[in-house]
Structure 1
Amino acid sequence: MSHTQQKDEKSTEKEVASEKLNNDSINQYQIRPSIGNSFPIASIREIINEILLQTLDGKEYTCSEVGAWCRQIVDGINMRIKSLEIPRYKHIVQTMLAEQTGAGSRYIARCHWDASCDSKVSEQYKSETIICIVTVFGVYQY
């Protein structure tokens, strides 16, 4: 191998290493969502309301069906949120469904998170016999 060929191979190796370095710098560590990529609260609120109406509208509270309704609500919301393909966010769906008896109730959720990028959406459905509260938590993955 001649001296010129060795120089050409070294310069090619340097170019490949430089290109790899440039490609790696594109995939930088993000500690905040980029502008416009935050948790889409309005879209998720619409999804929750649609699923609640589809599942519970016109139904009367029946203890034996509550478990199936909760699974249907949570699965429907999960599938629709996954279809949004929100980058770097994980979501949790929590549902509380109870009989509406006229007594007051209180629903509280407490979280320890980064308020600048994590978020939640909560909606409720009420009828004469059913009350349902759905909360979706969106947590940004660093």
Structure 2
Amino acid sequence: MMMSDIAKDRMAHSVKKRGNMSSLSGREFWQKELHRCTKNSMSTVSYMDEPSQRDDASRLTVQMENTYQLGPTKHFPVVIVNHILKDVLTKYLQEEQYEPELCRQMTKTISEVIKAQVKDLMIPRYKLIVIVHIGQVNSQNIFIGSRCLWDPKSDTFSSYVFRNSSLFALASVYAVYFE
């Protein structure tokens, strides 16, 4: 049986370190050295898992519980979010006139403000989607629709429509429960 080069190098290094070189041939020397290393090695087994009288008092009791939840523990507060939508839209758009570029920027700003205020409510495990539409008031109609996979037991939405003499705005917050 041939030993790997790394094992030979290690044994030669340990022999040089001890300072005794043998007059035996190379093969005899390595066989003796290998026998010496295996003879002096020792294995130990720990019996920490076996109960003993003195260890019973020192063991900690572990209590397991199921933390999986089948639905929200705290439901999404639709009424409070409706008030947030009304306040934000009124504050930002009460005195504004419809200008396309300004309204494009306002939709981004208003949606970020709404999202931040709803997140401040600290409702756990809900993903929020905030959409704001702003348009000019003329003699036209608009239909806005949305679709997604929905669990009516836990998912919900809130929306509010704002109007002044020049523009209208629709803000919607979709709250999807994340399991």
Q: What band does the TM-score fall into relative to the shorter chain?
A: 0.7 to 0.9
Matched, 1:62 2:99: yes
Q: Which amino acid aligns with 2:158?
A: V
Return the offset for 1:8.
2.9
Instruction: Provide the identity percentage.
Output: 23
Q: Which has the higher contact order (CA 8 A, sep 6+)?
A: 1
The residue number in structure 1 matching 2:55 is 9
Return the offset for 1:87.
1.5
In structure 2, do the counterparts of structure 1 residues 7 and 67 end up closer, same or farther at CA, with 3 Å as the change threshold? farther
Aligned CA RMSD, in angstroms, stands at 1.7
Matched, 1:38 2:75: yes
The residue number in structure 1 matching 2:113 is 76
What does 1:78-117 correspond to in 2, within 5 Å? 78-117=115-154
The residue number in structure 2 matching 1:53 is 90
SS in 1 for 2:54: helix
Residues paired across the two proteins, number: 129
Runs ≥4 residues deviating over 4 A: none
User: Larger strand proportion, structure 1 or 2?
Assistant: 1
TM-score (norm 2): 0.67
TM-score (norm 1): 0.83
Which stretch of the first structure deviates more once superposed, 122-131 or 43-52? 122-131
